[in-house]
């Protein structure tokens, strides 16, 4: 299976899309950035041709039409644990991009498109790392409890986004790159670019997009190989998102009405859980 993770600009007509293409063996075969929508769709179609493909979009897709408030039910639940923008900011961007991809691919039956949120992926991995439990996630046979009530929106990994000052962003980007390469063990056909010593703001923005695409590929990879910490949360009525969760977070989300199940490109899996 090919995992095609797309970090997507929430507004069309911007050259701020990035893509990371990974095999189900954890090999990152291609990275691209500063793409407009046409180039993004073209690259997705090229990589999806001839094999089963899981396409991941970092933008709200399901349940965005006729919102009764700024957030979907899935965001209303997640906001207690992870900071996130309301779906209303993206309008119908995700649905339209998904439709464009599905209209362009040659064999629709082999392509699945799902929503992701890289920050939520990184926050889970970072929290597991802070607890000394990240190795358990990467080689897990069953899902266990790693988190607790300290998993709140204010407890976050080192910042690498635009709102942080330059030095903080550089430290955050280097930390994230280290997690991707050394701690998660991703194998890159071409080296994942480092921020260097004095990148421009534009260069840092490009790296942010690339690194987010890689984070999205991680949750897609885990889902493809049946890692028990990879879940599909929500549904077409509440909003739906592929994310990482332990048993504690799963229980919290389900108590707020958001179902979680294991999923691999069209197949829902039953994975043994502890009693």
Q: What is the pLDDT of residues 115-126, one digit of tens each?
A: 999 999 999 999
**Of 107-116, 162-171, 259-268, where does mean pLDDT reach its minimum?**
259-268
Is 21's pLDDT higher than 50? yes
* Adjacent-strand bridge partners of 188: 28
| Helices vs. strands in the chain: H and E counts, helices first | 8, 10
Is 221's pLDDT higher than 60? yes
Q: What is the pLDDT of residue 11?
A: 85
* pLDDT band at 12; cut points 50, 70, 90: confident
Annotated domain spans of the chain: 2-269
Is 198's pLDDT higher than 80? yes
Kindly report the pTM of this predicted structure: 0.94
Tell me the average pLDDT of the chain: 93
**Of 149-163, 208-222, 227-241, where does mean pLDDT reach its minimum?**
149-163
Q: What is the pLDDT of residue 258?
A: 98
Cβ neighbours around 66 below 10 Å, total: 5
Q: DSSP assignment, residue 116? A: B
Place of tokens 């691999």: 264
Beta strands in the chain (DSSP E): 2-7, 17-23, 27-35, 53-57, 111-115, 187-188, 230-235, 239-244, 260-264, 267-269
Determine the average pLDDT of the residues in 81-91.
95
Read off the tokens for 42: 């073209």
Q: What is the pLDDT of residue 140?
A: 86
* Region for residue 224 given its phi and psi (left: phi exceeds 0; alpha: psi -120 to 50; beta: otherwise): alpha
Closest CA to 122 of 130, 114, 113: 130
């Amino acid at each position: 299976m090919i995992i095609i993770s797309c970090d997507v600009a929430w507004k069309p007509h911007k050259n701020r899309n990035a893509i990371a293409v990974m095999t189900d063996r954890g090999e990152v075969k291609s990275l691209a950035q500063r793409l407009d929508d046409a180039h993004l769709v073209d690259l997705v179609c090229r990589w999806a041709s001839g094999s089963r493909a899981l396409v991941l979009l970092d933008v709200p897709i399901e349940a965005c039409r006729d919102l009764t408030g700024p957030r979907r039910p899935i965001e209303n639940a997640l906001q207690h644990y992870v900071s996130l923008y309301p779906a209303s900011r993206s309008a119908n961007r995700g649905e339209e991009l998904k439709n464009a991809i599905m209209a362009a691919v040659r064999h629709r039956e082999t392509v699945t498109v799902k929503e992701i949120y890289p920050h939520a992926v990184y926050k889970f991995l970072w929290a597991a790392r802070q607890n000394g439990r990240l190795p358990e996630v990467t080689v897990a046979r069953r899902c266990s409890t790693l988190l607790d009530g300290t998993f709140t929106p204010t407890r976050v990994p080192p910042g690498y986004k635009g709102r942080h000052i330059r030095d903080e962003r550089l430290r955050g980007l280097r930390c994230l790159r280290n997690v991707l390469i050394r701690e998660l063990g991703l194998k890159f056909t071409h080296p994942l670019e480092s921020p260097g010593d004095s990148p421009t703001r534009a260069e840092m923005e490009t790296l942010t997009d690339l690194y987010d695409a890689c984070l999205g590929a991680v949750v897609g990879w885990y889902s493809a190989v049946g890692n028990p910490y990879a879940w599909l949360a929500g549904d077409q009525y509440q909003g739906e998102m592929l994310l990482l969760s332990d048993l504690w977070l799963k229980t919290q989300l389900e108590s707020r009405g958001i179902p979680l199940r294991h999923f691999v490109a069209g197949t829902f899996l039953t994975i043994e859980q502890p009693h």
